[in-house]
Structure 1
């Protein structure tokens, strides 16, 4: 009887193409340069490096740029070659890479406690999440250089992703919150806070205004600011709270009494939806082709979400 032949099972493994080594600390983020044999990386060692493949087959830095603080994240737009780098010291630095990827020219720097970055190439908007729970929309397109604020989280922003087809922003925070923002809304800039020595509504002095306190024989009051008009007001003249979604405030914030009366129910309508992932999110990835969202958590759990009901 002939011996029975058992064919060997097929083993399919990923093929390692190359290793890019040389960073002196943790590489926090890296991307493949489209249509080029190149990689861009940012690291805890405070460097931004553009690695290009040489004739030897190895990757060597064509750009080695030292930053003033460790690099936490980045966003790269291959069409414009614009690179935005978030630093641990709370700033975003922008660069334009040369066509041959051998030079990196700085453009400008923004202040923000940056923990996450995302880019919209159509509207030319840069989204940054920060440790102070806020998201800033930077108008890189240059219409007016505006910076819009979004407040809808109770903890540090961990990751943000943009759904281009529906113009919705997805943000996740350390407390497990997932917020889907409608970016089709005509939003407004938050007003600058005004300085004053007395309430700009009732003219009562603030506690550092010794002269007016002495003249009117009154104890100074604590200063607050209306989030809608930016005026410096006392607690009595700003006793109300309201949501102002068009200014980015999805939660109730302090407003002066006159502004509270001017806000209509329509203006209080939310521009975002809120969802609880029930785990502490560390990072997210959005797949626009299937409209899936992947969340990975500090609880060692990875969750896949069908976002079709909310991202459409």
Structure 2
């Protein structure tokens, strides 16, 4: 017979994420009321409550540091330090243009992965290089789930279009540069269309601004007509690069660092069990699939 425990009602809206921390005997939960709470799983006593700025859509916890990683619909990730009866804000960071849809924490490398509705994944190096953010671009739709295989240092991600990507994280990756601001092309110096003074002085029509994904410079379409993959920067698909950067990218630089697979259903949830190498996915088609990942995660 299954025993039942009753918890004090905490959320005024739908519960969005629940996490059980076995080592602490805590239950962490978040809701559409923007409340983040944690209870004692034995007594049901509420230990604390924190008010978030937006609905929480991702939640991870590190037992050693008692840090809770909270991802929300604004695209922000918040780190909280939990105590028995209180919590304190450690920091917040934002790199996604869409809402955070999934989080995955690697306690060994002290790296947090966040997936988003903007199709991207960001690797936040919290414990190593203090804030380094690496982008991973390999999905065409919203990222729905993230799992990490610590024994092989591979990240598994899935998206709503059924795509499953296996990322090799045992490589030295590079940060993507910040996009630079300029009133004219930083290659040919032609004015952009809002630079009225230079357009008038040179009697030339302004051009549309683009950015090279490798160097971050503001360039016109003519100076960035070429495309290339840059896997070590996370770009597994071809992206816009300026002419000089295109010449500097070698065939070795274009070697892929991820493999792509089609699950043939719209994934809404995934779970990876590293001891067996099995991946469980459930889809919007009401189908549950069990995958043997040992051929690709090893």
TM range (shorter): over 0.9
Aligned partner of 2:46 in structure 1 is: 61
Equivalent in 182, 202, 211 of residue 196 of structure 1: 182
Equivalent in 163, 166, 175 of residue 180 of structure 1: 166
Tell me how far 1:288 sits from its aligned partner: 0.6
Tell me how far 1:58 sits from its aligned partner: 4.1
Mapped pair 1:33 → 2:21? yes
Tell me how far 1:26 sits from its aligned partner: 1.9
State the SS of the aligned residue for 2:182.
coil
Mapped pair 1:85 → 2:70? yes
Tell me how far 1:171 sits from its aligned partner: 0.3
CA distance in 1, matches of 2:57, 2:76: 10
| Maintained 8 Å contact 2:186/2:219 | yes
| Maintained 8 Å contact 2:23/2:63 | no
Q: Deviations over 1:179-199 (max 9, x none)?
A: 000000100000111111111
CA distance in 2, matches of 1:290, 1:135: 25
CA distance in 2, matches of 1:21, 1:252: 52
Aligned partner of 2:4 in structure 1 is: 17
| Maintained 8 Å contact 2:16/2:30 | yes
Aligned partner of 1:239 in structure 2 is: 225
Structure 1 runs (4+) deviating above 3 angstroms are none
Aligned partner of 1:223 in structure 2 is: 209
| TM-score of the aligned structures, taking structure 2 as reference length | 0.95
CA distance in 2, matches of 1:35, 1:168: 25
CA distance in 2, matches of 1:224, 1:163: 37
| TM-score of the aligned structures, taking structure 1 as reference length | 0.91
Q: Deviations over 1:222-272 (max 9, x none)?
A: 111000011111111111000000111000000001111110001001100
CA RMSD for the aligned pairs? 1.3
Tell me how far 1:142 sits from its aligned partner: 4.5
Aligned partner of 1:7 in structure 2 is: none
Identify if the C-alpha distance between structure 1 residues 36 and 220 changes in structure 2 by more than 3 Å, giving closer, same or farther. Answer: closer
Tell me how far 1:93 sits from its aligned partner: 0.9
Q: Deviations over 1:47-91 (max 9, x none)?
A: 1111115xxx64021101111211112001112211001111221
Residues 114-153 of structure 1: pairs in structure 2 closer than 5 A: 114-153=100-139
Mapped pair 1:254 → 2:237? no
Runs of 5+ unmatched residues, structure 2: none
Tell me how far 1:21 sits from its aligned partner: 4.8
Tell me how far 1:44 sits from its aligned partner: 1.6
Residues 255-274 of structure 1: pairs in structure 2 closer than 5 A: 255-274=241-260
| Maintained 8 Å contact 1:72/1:115 | yes
CA distance in 2, matches of 1:220, 1:209: 7
| Maintained 8 Å contact 1:38/1:59 | no
Equivalent in 98, 101, 109 of residue 92 of structure 2: 109
Runs of 5+ unmatched residues, structure 1: 1-12
Larger-Rg structure: 1
| Maintained 8 Å contact 2:224/2:243 | yes
